[in-house]
Amino acid sequence: MSKIFLFKEGNIIKNNKFLKNFIKEARFFIKKVFKKNKISLELYLVNDQKIIEINKRTRGKDYAANVLSFSLETPMGKHLFLGEIVLNIDFINRKYKKPLDGTIFLFIHGLLHILGYVHDKKSDRIIMESLEDRFFQKWKDLQKELVLLNS
């Protein structure tokens, strides 16, 4: 089974059911879409201030990114540790009417970066946006499958 280690900044998300469901869906998504059963990653949920601090320290950029990803690909016991994804919850709450959709979309975006996808050039951006859209739809389809499995 894939492992996702969750770290959240303070009381940024008060709804633990939201977090539990998201992590369960993320593990299911990784298994179904990437056919990976023994990977792990760290997911950080932070606010604007914290992501600015991380962005300055790691990339020399002084702004609140929506998501940051750090690819590490390191063996960790029986699992392959892929890296870290940092999601800006303040951004998600500002931009998305449905915070779960924003969390899913930016998680996918971060995961694609960890897997080596970039969007620096237009051709790369087209590929990455296509994958984001396809994987977001796949996640939504898998949510329905999970509901049926849990019924």
Full pLDDT tens readout for the chain, 151 residues = 677 888 777 665 666 777 788 888 888 888 877 776 688 889 999 999 999 999 999 999 999 999 999 998 787 777 788 899 999 999 999 999 988 899 999 999 999 999 899 999 999 999 999 999 999 999 888 877 766 666 5
Which sequence spans correspond to the domains of the chain? 3-150
Look-up of token digits 């709450």: 93
Parallel/antiparallel/unpaired status of strands 67-76 and 39-46: unpaired
Q: What pTM was estimated for this model as a whole?
A: 0.86
Residue 133 CA to residue 105 CA, distance in Å, equals 8
Which CATH class, in words, describes the domain spanning 3-150?
Answer: alpha beta
> Which pLDDT does position 141 carry in this prediction?
85
> Which pLDDT does position 79 carry in this prediction?
78
> Which pLDDT does position 10 carry in this prediction?
64
> Which pLDDT does position 148 carry in this prediction?
67
46, 9 in Cβ contact below 8 A?
yes
40, 83 in Cβ contact below 8 A?
no
* DSSP annotation of 14: -
76, 116 in Cβ contact below 8 A?
no
Q: Residue 149 has which token pair?
A: 């499995």
